[in-house]
Amino acid sequence: MATGAALLGYFLTGVPLWAGVGGTVGFAVGAWAVLYQYLTSESRVVLAHRVRIGLLAGAAATAAYDLSRYMLVAVSGSNVRPFAAWPLFGELLGAGPRTQSAALVVGFSYHLVNGLGFAVAFTVVLGDRGVLAGVAWALILEALMVSFYPGWLGMKALAEFVSVTIVGHVVYGIVLGFLSRRLVRRDPRAGPMAARPTSQT
């Protein structure tokens, strides 16, 4: 979730997104390097399998999220541009002006990393909880998006934007919750994690 935290930091403090990504990713890697030492060898196996499941479920959920938004806009004739943020992400990450294809590619990559990262976080902690937990997680992400995106993107059709993003996030949550639970329960190596017992002195 480090890349998403960097975006939140940009909205709240104005720290450049590229700098925020570097800082939050570096912190996350350091934190995991420390926490990893406290996991048993069995729990490390569980973690690895849950990360793999999260990436698979996250790829499907992110694709469903984007497809559902595109289809809703196409069917309803809405003026909302569902992918307008992608080139802006790219520009903020130093890929050049938002009008260039490089900004679109980098921005889409950032969007994909966010979708996968949020899915992995969910799967590691709540991967066996199912669709309702997935939708609840997705609606938390929706609330954060609605809090910042309209002003950032200069949205005028706010109601249409919220409708499109809610549908997208609910679909994301359904796919994520369903797939992660199904895959976690089918894989005996993706069970609960445990910390190493601490020595008593």
Determine the Cα–Cα distance for residues 129 and 109; give it in Å rounded to an integer.
28
Determine the Cα–Cα distance for residues 131 and 161; give it in Å rounded to an integer.
24
194: pLDDT confidence band, cut at 50, 70 and 90?
low
Query: CA dist 112 to 39, 62, 108, Å?
Result: 29, 7, 6
pLDDT score at 162? 87
Determine the Cα–Cα distance for residues 190 and 50; give it in Å rounded to an integer.
6
pLDDT exceeds cutoff 80 at 187: yes
Q: What are phi and psi of 155, to 5 degrees?
A: -70, 135
pLDDT digits (tens, 9 = 90+) for 42-97: 888 999 999 999 999 999 999 999 999 999 999 988 888 889 899 999 999 999 99
pLDDT score at 77? 86
Q: How many CB atoms lie within 10 A of CB 137?
A: 22
Strand partners, 195: 39
191: pLDDT confidence band, cut at 50, 70 and 90?
confident
Alpha-helix residue ranges (DSSP H) falling in 37-100: 41-76, 85-92
pLDDT exceeds cutoff 80 at 134: yes
pLDDT score at 196? 54
* pLDDT (average), residues 135-140: 97
Q: Give the closest residue to 185 by CA, choosing from 56, 64, 50.
A: 50
pLDDT exceeds cutoff 70 at 200: no
pLDDT score at 179? 97
